[in-house]
Amino acid sequence: MTAPAVLSTDRLELGEGIRWTDGRAVLTDILTGRLLALPDGPGAALDPITRLSCPLGAVAPVEGRPGHWIAAAGTGICHIDPAGRVVWIARPEDGAPVPMRMNDGVADPHGRFWAGSMACEATEDAGSLYRLDRDGRVTRVLRDVSIPNGPAFAADGTSLYLADSARGVIRRYPVDPESGDLGAPEAVAALETGSPDGMTVDIEGCLWTAVWGAGQVRRYRPDGTLDQTVDLPARQPAGLCLGGPDGRTLLVTSAHIGLPDPGPLDGAVFAVRVDVPGAPAAPYRPTAPAAPADRAGTP
C-alpha cells in the first residue's frame, strides 16, 4: 500500500459519490450540484461534466448510452443527458415534513439503482432508501434512517451494505436477485470513532468505508473484522471507489464543509494503491422508458 497522493488542485465543499466508469473517475460536489471528472494529471483542476440547480449526491452510468446518467439529486431520482438536461423519474421527498435531499446512490449488479435520502438538517430517522427498478418504478424500501450512506453491493448482488452514518453502524441486508426485496439486516460494524460514509466492496468481498471525522478509510472482512486502516491528511473522507486500469487504486473524496479551520488538504481527492482490486461502477440497465415524474411506490 502506498502513501495517499493528491489528485487535483480542487478542494471540494462536500465531495462524494466517486465512481470508476468508462476508464475514468467521476464524482460529485453535493451541495453545489456539480458532476466532475478527475483530470489527467495531479496539477490540474477537476473537469466539469454538468451542474444541476439542486444538490447532486451520486450518479450511475446508463448502459449502452454514453454520457447519460441516473442520479440521486434534489428530492428524488432523475435522468441526465449529455447536454445536462434533466428528466425527473420521481421526487418522493417533495412535501416531506422537513426539508430533504438525496444523498449517496449506486447501481447494483442486476441493473437497478439505489439511493438514500436525508433531512437537510440531519433530522433523526427522517431518511429513506429508494430503489429504481429497471422498468422505471421507484419504491421506498427502507424508512427511519437518519443519514443513509453507501449503499454498496457484493459482486453477485445478493448482499447490500448500508451505513447509518449518524448512528455509526454498517448493516448488511440480503437481496433477492429477482425482485430486489431486502431481508432482515445484520450489523457488520459499529464504529466508536468517526462515522461510516461512502463504501465499496472489493473482489475478496471485503468492505471499504470512508470514516468521516476520523481522517481514515477502513477495510472490513465479511465477518466484520477490521482488516486495514488508511490514514488520510483530511478530516472528513466522504466517498470512495476502487478504480484505475487494474482496479487497485483506492480513490477517496473528502469535504471541508463545517470545518472552522480547514487544512490545506480538507476537500481534496486522494489515491492510494492497494493489493486487492475492485470492479468498475455497475450501470443502470433500463428495460423501458423512464417512469412518469413523481411516480413512487411505498411498501
Rounded to whole angstroms, the Cα distance separating 4 from 20 reads: 18
Looking at the DSSP bridge assignments, the partners of residue 241 are 251
Catalytic residue among 108, 133, 164, 197: 197
- Whether 14 has a pLDDT exceeding 80, the answer reads yes
101 marked among binding-site residues: yes
The alpha-carbon radius of gyration of the chain (Å, integer) is: 17
Decide if 135 is catalytic: no
pLDDT digits (tens, 9 = 90+) for 145-199: 999 999 999 999 999 999 999 999 999 999 999 999 999 999 999 999 999 999 9
Q: What is the pLDDT of residue 3?
A: 86
Domain ranges of the chain: 5-297
Rounded to whole angstroms, the Cα distance separating 274 from 149 reads: 23
Rounded to whole angstroms, the Cα distance separating 105 from 140 reads: 13
What CATH number does the domain located at 5-297 have?
Answer: 2.120.10.30
Rounded to whole angstroms, the Cα distance separating 132 from 114 reads: 6
Q: Supply the pTM of this predicted model.
A: 0.94
Share of the chain above pLDDT 70, in %: 96
Q: How many helices (H) and strands (E) does the chain have?
A: 0, 25
Cell of 260: 472552522
Q: What is the pLDDT of residue 197?
A: 98
- Whether 44 has a pLDDT exceeding 70, the answer reads yes
218 marked among binding-site residues: no
13 marked among binding-site residues: no
Mean pLDDT of 223-238: 97
149 marked among binding-site residues: yes
> Running DSSP on this structure, what letter comes out for residue 274?
-
Alpha helices in the chain (DSSP H): none
Rounded to whole angstroms, the Cα distance separating 2 from 272 reads: 6
53 to each of 13, 33, 122, 191, 225, how far by Cα in Å?
Answer: 16, 6, 21, 35, 41
121 marked among binding-site residues: yes
Q: Cβ atoms within 10 A of the Cβ of 222, count?
A: 14
What is the number of alpha carbons within 13 Å of residue 195 lying toward its C-beta? Answer: 16
Phi/psi for 249 (5° steps) reads -105, 115
Q: Is 279 exposed, middle or buried (0-12, 13-18, 19+ CB in 10 A)?
A: middle
